[in-house]
């Protein structure tokens, strides 16, 4: 495994562990079956994003809904409680939006990384 993939894999593992205990039996559900408060909260925070999928899962022993979405080629995934409160948000960013120190460190350490 390349160094960059290993670092990214460990980072995602760390994020997953720090976010709490998540049930691995997440189930895809039809978008129209998403609770109204969940969809309203997501659309209010991310107007113009296209919802591409919804999963029902358990977060810390409580029900949660993961919304997957895109806009202009960029992805946002959010985990919400049934009442519409946000638990976590994962947002894809462009390389140009990385802080200069982060971009420099990654580039110098992983010269062939993408």
Output the CA–CA distances (angstroms, integers) from residue 30 to 19, 47, 76, 87, 90, in the order listed.
25, 20, 18, 21, 21
| pTM strictly above 0.85 | no
Tokens describing residue 12:
């995602």
Burial label for 12, CB within 10 Å (0-12, 13-18, 19+), is exposed
Tokens describing residue 30:
């039809």
Report domain extents, the chain: 22-109
CATH of domain 22-109: 3.10.450.360
Are the CB atoms for 27 and 55 separated by under 8 Å? yes
Interatomic CA distance for residues 106 and 102, integer angstroms: 6
Per-residue pLDDT of the chain (114 residues; tens, 9 = 90+): 444 444 444 444 445 444 455 556 789 999 999 999 999 999 999 999 999 999 999 999 999 999 999 999 999 999 999 999 999 999 998 888 889 999 889 889 998 877
Q: For residue 41, how many other CB atoms are within 10 A of its CB?
A: 19
């Amino acid at each position: 495994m390349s160094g960059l993939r290993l670092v990214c894999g460990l980072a995602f593992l760390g994020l997953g562990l720090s976010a709490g205990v998540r049930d691995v039996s997440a189930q895809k559900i039809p978008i129209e079956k998403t609770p109204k408060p969940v969809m309203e909260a997501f659309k209010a925070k991310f107007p113009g994003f296209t919802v591409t999928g919804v999963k029902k899962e358990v977060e810390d022993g409580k029900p949660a809904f993961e919304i997957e979405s895109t806009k202009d080629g960029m992805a946002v995934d959010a985990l919400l409680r049934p009442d519409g409160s946000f638990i976590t948000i994962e947002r894809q960013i462009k390389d140009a939006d990385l802080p200069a120190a982060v971009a420099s460190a990654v580039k110098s350490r992983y010269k062939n990384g993408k």
